[in-house]
Amino acid sequence: MASPIAVVILNWNGQHWLQRFLPGVVAATGGDARVIVADNGSTDGSVAWVQDHCPGVEVVRNATNLGFAGGYNEALKQVDAELYVLLNSDVEVMPGWVPALAGYLRRHPEMAACQPKVLSHGQRDRFEHAGAAGGFIDRNGYPFCRGRIFEITEKDHGQYDDEREVFWATGACLMIRAEAFRAAGGFDASLFAHMEEIDLCWRLKRTGWRIGYTAATTVYHVGGGALGYGSPRKTYLNFRNSLIVLTKNLHRGWLPMRIARRLVLDGAAGLKFLLEGHGAHTWQVLRAHLHFYAMLPAVLRERRRLQALERSPDLTGQYQRSVAYDRFILGWKTFDKLDATAFTRRG
């Protein structure tokens, strides 16, 4: 009989993170779930270390590095459970964290997935960039969170100690129903890494599922474990994948205009990088656009396929304004400053 819950940690040459955080995950999880390391073709001795030092932890292996998206897709084919918890290797969890998340999903059968409060491991009173207190997306495909608008993260003073529906939940600590993950076809492996959880949540919402956040438990995320926040590679993946996700999933509006608007906005971002002395990031923004346009025929085919599958879409949480305009022109730096009337609401 399969355990109803499996905590699955994807690892690629992250032995140092496993040494630092895996024993704490095992201790905090106890008998609430199986703990599994899904290794993505590591060459740094990660698997041997887990087997030697954490014998109760299961290991599944991918032959090569398939990225976050493909790596989880392949690994989860080997994991039989009702609920998956996808957990980054650079996350510290608290006792009782699994029952808190599972309890939320069991109280809310309409929710496909949920996330906890995510604070910074290095600044434990401040929200962490990847997920914070639940994710949203604006009309141009730019993601943001309660607790994080672009590069600005808020201090946590209890302002998001609640439970609520959000647009997307972070892949740094994501509990998701296995049935929903499988029905959606898992992550889009072409994204490789970054924004794959946003794409998955958007696709789930297009078929009537909802996505949730609960502050019943908190995790502490280092962030940038595989690719640092200052990495040009991360810039490339974020900009390219954002365009792909927007094009695949945009529900309303004339698509060519949205892409043209992104070209202008991303051009402004590239100029900002250049003026700040980060020319490598400017090149990655340009490279992201060039590669996106090369991929556009395949992305449009996927868009048509998803449109045929769409049933009772629930787009609660989409922000029908430009969060870039609000942040950089109007100077709105925190979630509570955004226009509350601009969020798509249920019904």
The per-residue pLDDT string of the chain (347 residues; one tens digit each, 9 = 90 and over) reads: 457 999 999 999 999 999 999 999 999 999 999 999 999 999 999 999 999 999 999 999 999 999 999 999 999 999 999 999 999 999 999 999 999 999 999 999 999 999 999 999 999 999 999 999 999 999 999 999 999 999 999 999 999 999 999 999 999 999 999 999 999 999 999 999 889 999 999 999 999 999 999 999 999 999 865 555 578 998 999 999 999 999 999 876 678 888 899 899 999 999 999 999 999 999 999 999 999 999 999 999 999 999 999 988 888 999 999 999 999 999 999 999 999 999 988 75
Question: pLDDT value at position 345?
Answer: 83
CA distance 197 to 137: 12
CA distance 86 to 345: 28
Name the pTM for this structure.
0.93
Q: Which residues contact 116 (CB under 8 A, 6 or more apart)?
A: 97, 100, 101, 173, 213, 214, 215, 216, 217, 218, 219
The two three-digit tokens of residue 343, written as one number: 């969020």
Sheet with strand 152-153: strands edge to edge: 152-153, 148-149, 143-145, 135-138, 318-319
| pLDDT tens-digit series, residues 279-328 | 999 999 999 999 999 999 999 999 999 999 998 888 899 999 999 999 99
Question: pLDDT value at position 2?
Answer: 56
Q: What is the four-CA torsion angle of 76, 28, 226, 175, rounded to 10 degrees?
A: 40
Residue (of 207, 206, 186, 208) closest to 197 by Cα position: 186
Count of alpha carbons within 13 angstroms of residue 80, beta-carbon side: 3
Number of domains in the chain: 1
Query: Whole domain around residue 262: which residue ranges?
Result: 1-347
CA distance 306 to 277: 40
For residue 65, give the CATH number of its domain.
Answer: 3.90.550.10
Cα angle 222-328-266, degrees, rounded to a multiple of 5: 80
Q: 97-107 and 15-29 helices cross at what angle (nearest 10)? A: 70
> Are the C-beta atoms of residues 111 and 163 closer than 8 Å to each other?
no
Which amino acid makes up residue 245? V
Question: pLDDT value at position 231?
Answer: 86
Question: pLDDT value at position 224?
Answer: 63
